[in-house]
Amino acid sequence: MSGTLNKVMLIGHLGDEVKMHYFEGGGCIGRFPLATNETYTSKQTNERVTNTEWHNIVVRNKAAEVCEKYLGKGDKVYIEGRIKTRKWQDESGNDRYSTEIQCTDFTFLTTKNDGGNASSNQQQSQQNQSSQSAKPRQEPITPKPEVDMPDDDLPF
């Protein structure tokens, strides 16, 4: 089956830290919100308007651990993935839907420690005092995520 394509490409900023969930079998996932902005001039008011779109990013296993290690709130990242809408029931038993981006690839555009992130404050102030040669691990890294765990029926 197939002959279809489901691809998402985002560049945005993390709205929060990467939140990890660990599973019994040894797998894990990381989740974080990612903001993208769209700016246009309103034809009604002739003013510049900015809309922020929030995306729920889900990363798995080793890739999740790498993201947690290097990405913090405010960091900028390129995310490639698939759209997945999960169906769940709220307390009243109504069907609810939640759309996520299941990350298949990523590239860090800034990282926690490289001073390009105004919100990773403690680390950044250390950063700012250090010389450039003292930043050995801050190059962007693009690991290939490996997926070794069930894809469905996540309990959250």
Residues that bind its own copies (CB under 8 A): 1-13, 35-40, 43-44, 50-55, 76, 78, 82-85, 90, 92, 94, 96-99, 107-109, 116, 139-142, 150-152
Nearer to DNA, 104 or 119 (CB): 119
Least distance between its own copies and beta carbon 129 (Å): 14
Contacted by 109, from its own copies, DNA, none: CB < 5 to 8 Å by type:
its own copies
Nearer to DNA, 61 or 117 (CB): 117
- DSSP symbols for 32-94: EEEEEEEEEE-TTT--EEEEEEEEEEEEEHHHHHHHHHH--TT-EEEEEEEEEEEEEE-TT--
Contacted by 83, from DNA, its own copies, none: CB < 5 to 8 Å by type:
its own copies
| b (16+ CB within 10 A) / e for 88-113 | eeeeeeeeeeeebbbbbebebbbbbb
The pair of three-digit structure tokens given for residue 129, joined into one six-digit string: 């005092």
Site residues (vs DNA, CB under 7 A): 1-4, 12-16, 33, 35, 37, 50, 52, 54, 73-74, 76, 117-119, 138-140
